[in-house]
């Protein structure tokens, strides 16, 4: 492919994640973006957290039953000459680890906030991770068709609690039953609200001059006057939008709308593809890799077993960082130090897959995996380097896992092995008893693991309690000292899935004592050390 073509393919990529607290309408927004992008013809309605018709991006059985997203979905579509890749993430705090890792594969994010509930705890944590990673952020304030907090109050809340400097690029006219529409500050036009959950509503009025009497005719004199006053105040209080400020996280654009009614979504999408960053560089242990480099580099940020339980397929999700990825070409699996060729390369529309022959920086592809990949693995055209910053976090909930059906021991072992590779939870083998311990970020994960083992692997498990305060990875450069640590702390010593030593502390005091006993030991609460 000629250089200009390759450059233009990079330039037209937009890869972003959608994050929020549960129930803010994140999965609904994802679906409506797909609707506007022409990727789906009809949307499933999500009402009161019960799924009448399962939404496109929630494809695991347990997600359909509970009405929550528990795994990251990847969806791509073309819109106005851009290739848009959306990563819809779990909102529930018990599945935060999947979301944290997904944020390593996005170039920007859209944060969804419920107009009635405002900023919630899980949103704070996720935005903190984005800020730490310097990911550009857009805020979408959702559910304007319901009564909620005042727009100015919400912007203050976003600034104070999320520590973001905001500038609104659209402004609501009314709220709840009096919701009239949204004025686009960025495009200088007015969109009138007509509820529509399944079709794409196009009704709008272009009003450049806010003094135009047409504004009064369209929304009524009182609402028109309120809009004029609000916009006057907005221009005085908030900074003028500059794309450079957004890309460097100095300012965060805010949009208003109602995703379930398809309102404000098109404005968000059109502005997003105009201002959002193209694929960004990635840090490795050797150097920074630029997307415009000709040689291919990519990394595994997610592994999903049994996307289709009938076929027992296991997919490694790879973010393309640089160069062009070609199907059936040999690439170096850096950790295993061996060349690999991939004939089954897929792109995603939620659970629907299509085979692709090539992919470009910013794209997410799925590689058929027989157990070669771990989260964080790097693929290159030969250079031995590893993409940095794809951590596992110390779990906060622990239980022994036991086989509940002696005839299904093999199925259980395989199921645990594959589910742990996905990174949904972590496996520790206690070195004194040889018992298996599962550690998760949230307790709901135990339910998901039990459900998936039974329905995807035909294995039954039972849980037994264990008193563990924290699991921390132990780093000791002297092998003799490490062996001494293992011997003295055997009751609390385990190995993780990758045979790394782990200290299972039953209290904060136990960690403190271990640090005093072994001053050369480093105790890590994130595996990426």
Spatial CB neighbours of 144, under 8 Å, sequence gap ≥ 6:
115, 172, 175, 179, 182, 256, 257, 258, 263, 264
- For residues 250 and 113, membership in a common domain is answered with yes
Which range scores top for mean pLDDT: 127-131, 143-147, 204-208? 143-147
Q: What is the pLDDT of residues 161-181, one digit of tens each?
A: 999 999 999 999 888 888 888
Taking a C-beta distance cutoff of 8 angstroms, is the pair 213, 229 a contact?
Answer: no
Cα–Cα distance measured from residue 393 to residue 391, given in angstroms and rounded to the nearest whole number: 6
In a domain, 386, yes or no: no
Domain boundary among 245, 275, 305: 275
Task: Say which range, 29-38, 56-65, 108-117, has the weakest mean pLDDT.
Answer: 56-65
Band of pLDDT at residue 25, cut at 50, 70 and 90: confident
The SS3 assignment for 405 reads coil
Q: Are residues 71 and 103 in the same domain?
A: yes
Q: What is the chain's mean pLDDT, rounded?
A: 84
- Given 225, 258, 275, the domain boundary residue is 275
| pLDDT for 92 beyond 50 | no
Q: Is residue 29 part of a domain?
A: yes
Q: Is residue 411 part of a domain?
A: yes
* Of residues 47, 43, 21, 24, the one with CA closest to residue 34: 43
Say yes or no to pLDDT of 278 above 90. yes
What mean pLDDT is predicted for residues 484-507? 93
For residues 236 and 368, state if they share a domain.
no
Task: Let me know: does 128 contact 119? Beta carbons within 8 Å.
Answer: no
- The answer to whether residue 245 is domain-embedded is yes
- Give the pLDDT confidence score for residue 252 in this predicted structure: 95
Give the residue carrying structure tokens 């005042």. 150
**Residue 167 phi, psi dihedral angles, 5° rounding:** -145, 120
Pairing state of beta strands 314-322 and 297-305?
A: antiparallel
CA distances from 40 to 15, 32, 34, 359 (A): 19, 9, 6, 22
**Residue 163 belongs to some domain of the structure:** yes
Residue 356 shares a structural domain with residue 320 = yes
Is 100 in the same domain as 189?
Answer: yes
CATH number, domain of 496, equals: 3.30.70.3280
263 and 357 in a single domain? The answer is no
Three-state SS string over 90-118 comes to CCCHHHHHHHHHHCCCCCEEEEEEECCCE
**380, 413, 434 - which closes a domain:** 380
* Domain region containing 236: 3-275
> Count of domains in the chain?
3
Answer for the pair 486, 493: CB distance below 8 angstroms, yes or no. yes
Gyration radius of the chain over CA positions: 25
| CA 102 to each of CA 126, 141, 244, 387, 394: distance values in angstroms, whole numbers, following the listed order | 11, 22, 24, 14, 17
Residue 304 lies in a domain: yes
Return the exposure string of 447-456: e unless at least 16 CB atoms fall within 10 Å of the residue's CB, then b: ebbbbbbbeb
Question: Confidence class of residue 388 from pLDDT cuts 50, 70 and 90?
Answer: confident
pLDDT of 40: 63
Same domain, 248 and 309: no
pLDDT bucket at 129, cuts 50 / 70 / 90: confident
Report pLDDT for 522. Answer: 93
Helix (H, G, I), strand (E, B) or coil at 146: coil
Check residue 376 and give its pLDDT. Answer: 87
In this predicted structure, the answer to whether residue 128 has a pLDDT above a threshold of 50 is yes
Does residue 413 share a domain with residue 368? no
- The per-residue DSSP string of 248-277 comes to TTS-EEEEE-BGGGTBSHHHHHHHHHHHS-
Cα 228 to Cα 35, 147, 217, distances in angstroms: 32, 21, 14
Residues 265 and 345 in one domain: no
Q: Are residues 72 and 205 in the same domain?
A: yes
Provide the pLDDT confidence category of residue 277 given band limits of 50, 70 and 90.
very high
Task: Look up the pTM and report it.
Answer: 0.76
SS3 percent helix, strand, coil of the chain, rounded to 5, is: 30, 30, 40
For residue 278, which of 388, 376, 363, 356 has the smallest C-alpha distance? 363
CATH number at residue 261: 3.40.50.300
The answer on 319 and 225 residing in a single domain is no
Residue with tokens 């994960």: 445
**Same domain assignment for residues 299 and 268:** no
Tell me the three-class secondary structure of 316-370, residue by residue.
EEEEEEECCEECCCEEEECCCCEEEECCCEEEEECCEEEECCEECCCCEEEEECC
> What pLDDT, on the 0 to 100 scale, is given for residue 47?
34
Exposure of 237 in the CB half-sphere (CA atoms within 13 A): 14
Tell whether 390 is covered by a domain. Answer: no
**Domain assignment of residue 388, yes or no:** no
């Amino acid at each position: 492919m000629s250089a200009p073509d390759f450059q233009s393919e990079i330039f037209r990529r937009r890869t972003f994640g959608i994050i929020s607290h549960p129930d803010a309408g994140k999965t609904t927004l994802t679906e409506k973006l797909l609707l506007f992008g022409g990727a789906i013809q009809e949307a499933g309605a999500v009402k009161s957290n019960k799924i009448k018709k399962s939404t496109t991006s929630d494809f695991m059985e347990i997600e359909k039953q509970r009405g929550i997203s528990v795994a990251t979905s990847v969806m791509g579509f073309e819109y106005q000459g851009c290739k848009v890749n959306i990563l819809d993430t779990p909102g529930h705090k018990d599945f935060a680890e999947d979301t944290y890792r997904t944020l390593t594969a996005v170039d920007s994010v859209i944060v969804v906030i419920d107009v009635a509930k405002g900023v919630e705890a899980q949103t704070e944590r996720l935005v903190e991770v984005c800020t730490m990673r310097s990911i550009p952020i857009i805020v979408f304030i959702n559910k304007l068709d319901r009564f909620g907090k005042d727009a100015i109050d919400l912007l203050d809340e976003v600034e104070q609690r999320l520590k973001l400097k905001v500038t609104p690029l659209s402004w609501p006219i009314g709220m709840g039953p009096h919701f009239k529409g949204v004025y686009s500050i960025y495009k200088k036009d007015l969109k009138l609200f007509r509820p529509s959950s399944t079709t794409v509503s196009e009704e709008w009025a272009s009003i450049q001059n806010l003094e135009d009497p047409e504004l009064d005719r369209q929304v009524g004199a009182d609402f028109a006057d309120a809009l004029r006053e609000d916009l006057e105040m907005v221009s005085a209080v908030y900074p003028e939008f500059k794309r450079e400020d957004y890309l460097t996280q100095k300012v965060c654009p805010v949009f208003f709308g109602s995703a379930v009614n398809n309102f404000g979504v098109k404005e968000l999408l059109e502005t997003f593809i105009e201002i959002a960053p193209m694929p960004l560089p990635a840090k490795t242990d050797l150097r920074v890799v630029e997307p415009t480099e000709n040689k291919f580099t990519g990394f595994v940020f997610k592994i999903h077993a049994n996307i289709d339980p009938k076929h027992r397929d296991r997919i490694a999700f790879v973010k393309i960082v640089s160069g062009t990825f070609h199907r059936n070409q040999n690439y170096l699996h850096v950790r295993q130090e061996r060349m690999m060729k991939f004939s089954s390369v897929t792109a995603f529309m939620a659970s629907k897959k299509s085979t692709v022959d090539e992919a470009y920086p910013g794209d997410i592809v799925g590689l058929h995996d027989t157990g070669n990949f771990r989260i964080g693995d790097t693929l290159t055209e030969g250079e031995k380097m590893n993409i940095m910053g794809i951590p596992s976090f110390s779990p906060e909930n622990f239980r022994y896992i036991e086989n509940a059906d002696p005839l299904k021991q093999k199925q259980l072992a395989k199921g645990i092995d594959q589910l742990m590779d996905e990174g949904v939870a972590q496996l520790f083998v206690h070195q004194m008893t040889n018992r298996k311990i599962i550690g998760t970020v949230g307790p709901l994960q135990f339910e998901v693991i039990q459900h998936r083992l039974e329905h995807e692997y035909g294995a039954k498990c039972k849980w037994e309690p264990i008193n563990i305060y924290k699991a921390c990875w132990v780093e000791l450069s002297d092998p003799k000292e490490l062996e001494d640590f293992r011997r003295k702390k055997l009751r609390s010593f385990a190995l993780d899935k990758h045979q790394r030593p782990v200290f299972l502390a039953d209290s904060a005091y136990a960690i403190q004592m271990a640090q005093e006993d072994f001053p050369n030991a480093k105790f890590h609460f994130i595996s990426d050390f």
